[in-house]
Chains A and B, each alone.
Chain A
Amino acid sequence: METRQIYWEDVEVGQEIPTGYTLKLDITRFFMQVSGTQDYYPVHHDRDFAQAQGVPDIFVNTGFLTAAAGRLLTNWIGSEGWLKKFRIEMRKMNLYGDTMSVKGKVTGKRIENKEHYIEADVWCETDRQGITTPCKATIILPTRMEVTRNG
């Protein structure tokens, strides 16, 4: 992955976050989810079990969804950015067979107590259901003024 540091001055309110991406939720992805989160609850990997519980099919878990949103944000903010706060709402299931996209948009900028904040909306959406998982993020970014001051 190419790494590049962004700075608070470079960000515009309303801009799309450029590190969006898409994942196919095929059976391999579900097993990777179990491996990555160590969550063995069968509703997230056993189709017969999920359907017996009354849900349409297996669906990815919270650990997977937050990792997905985290990838978009941390790939964007670079090693000097800091994710400060976050909220995620699991409104609809991201199901087996769906194509899930992760996207984001900048919604605000401010300076508070000498820290440079960015507010962003991030979301997961599927081809089947549209937006399934809306999120809000608060990020602290470095500034070019600091770079200039510190040489």
Chain B
Amino acid sequence: MTTQKTPEEFLQESKKMIGKETETTAAPYPVEYEPIRRYCMMVDDTNPLFQDPDYAKKTQYGDVILPPFAPFGIMAGNFISAITKALPPLPGPYVINMAQEWEWMKPIKVGDRLSTKTRLSDVHIKKIRIDPKAFWIVFETEVSNQNGDVVCIYKNILLNHRPPNIVAQEQQSEKGD
């Protein structure tokens, strides 16, 4: 007889954490040119709006801006640390990032100081091929600048599933009932 909690029991516990926010985490340094250059370089992006101050000076922004996805791309360490603290109890061993959704409100410029706040916004069970009671977790992160303006919001939709042997045990046990 398994003493493993069921996904439904994990779900009951996890739902109590919905809405709970992490404390605000500030990026250690202001937005800087060099991390932007390395970020762009990884996908061979030569867009001068993100790398050439002389070009960017002539645009509406007046200076280099952060590429739109870089708040997650450059600060992934902050995010991973934040959700590690905010993760609800989970039935399976691994968490896989399945999808992201983004919305942008304001540009982010070199020199801006960013901070993030993350909260668990949903937990639900939805089947996948290898686990009929796979666990889906949605985190929402708000990125703000030094003025307290929310500059963008992103959601991560994460999947947690049980190993095949645990699923098989459960199915065997249900057949025997």
Cross-interface CB contact of A74 among B39, B49, B75, cutoff 8 Å = B49
Say whether A145 faces chain B, with CB atoms less than 8 Å apart.
no
List which A107-146 residues lie within 8 A (CB) of chain B.
none
Given contacts A70-B68, A86-B101, contact A38 B42 (CB under 8 A): no
Chain B residues contacting A17 (CB-CB under 8 Å) are none
Q: Which of B59-67, B132-140, B167-175 lies at the binding interface?
A: B59-67
The closest CB in chain B to the CB of A70 belongs to B69
At the interface with chain A, which of B9-17, B92-100, B114-122, B142-150?
Answer: B92-100
Q: Nearest CB to that of B50 among chain A residues?
A: A74
Task: State whether A64 and B49 are in contact (beta carbons under 8 Å apart), knowing that A38-B76, A70-B69 are contacts in the complex.
Answer: no
How far, in whole Å, are A67 and B73 apart by their CA atoms in the complex?
7
Interface of B is mostly: mixed
Q: Check if A75 is an interface residue, CB within 8 A of chain B.
A: yes
Chain B residues 52 to 111 lying within 8 A of chain A, measured CB to CB, are: 55-56, 59-61, 67-70, 72-77, 80, 94, 96-104
Cβ-based interface call for B44 (8 A): yes
A90 in contact with B46 (CB, 8 Å) = no
Q: Does chain B have a CB within 8 A of A39?
A: yes
User: Quick one: which of A1, A23, A66, A90 contacts B69, CB cutoff 8 A?
Assistant: A66
Q: Are A66 and B104 in contact (CB under 8 A)?
A: no
Known: A75-B47, A87-B99. A66 touches B42 (CB 8 A): no
For A87, list chain B residues within 8 Å (CB): 99-102
A51 to B100 CA separation, bound complex (whole angstroms): 25
Answer yes or no: B48 CB below 8 A from chain A CBs: yes
Report the nearest A residue to B77, measured CB to CB. A38
The interface residues of chain A lying within 8 Å CB-to-CB of B23 are none
Distance in Å: Cβ of A82 to nearest Cβ of chain B? 7
Interface range on chain A: under 10, 10 to 19, 20 to 34, or 35 or more?
35 or more
Choose among B60, B61, B76, B94 the residue that contacts A37 (Cβ–Cβ < 8 A).
B76
Most buried by A among B50, B94, B97: B97
Task: Answer yes or no: B38 CB below 8 A from chain A CBs.
Answer: yes
- Are A89 and B73 neighbours in the complex by a CB distance under 8 Å? no
Chain A neighbourhood of B75, CB < 8 A: 38
Whether a CB of chain A sits under 8 angstroms from the CB of B1 is no
Complex interface residues of chain B between 138 and 169 (CB less than 8 A to chain A): none
Interchain CB contact under 8 A, A1 and B47 = yes
With the chains together, A37 CA to B68 CA distance in Å?
A: 13
- Please name all residues of chain B whose beta carbon is closer than 8 Å to the beta carbon of A66 when the two chains form the complex: 69, 72-73, 100, 102
- Among A32-84, those with CB < 8 Å from B are 32-33, 35-41, 53, 61-64, 66-71, 73-75, 79-80, 82-84
Q: Point out residues on A near B: beta carbons under 8 Å.
A: 1, 3, 21, 23, 29, 32-33, 35-41, 53, 61-64, 66-71, 73-75, 79-80, 82-90
Can you report 22 A-B residue pairs in the complex whose CB atoms are below 8 A from each other? A36-B38, A36-B74, A37-B73, A38-B76, A39-B76, A39-B77, A62-B76, A66-B73, A67-B42, A67-B67, A67-B69, A68-B43, A71-B40, A74-B47, A79-B56, A84-B103, A85-B101, A85-B104, A86-B100, A86-B103, A87-B99, A90-B98
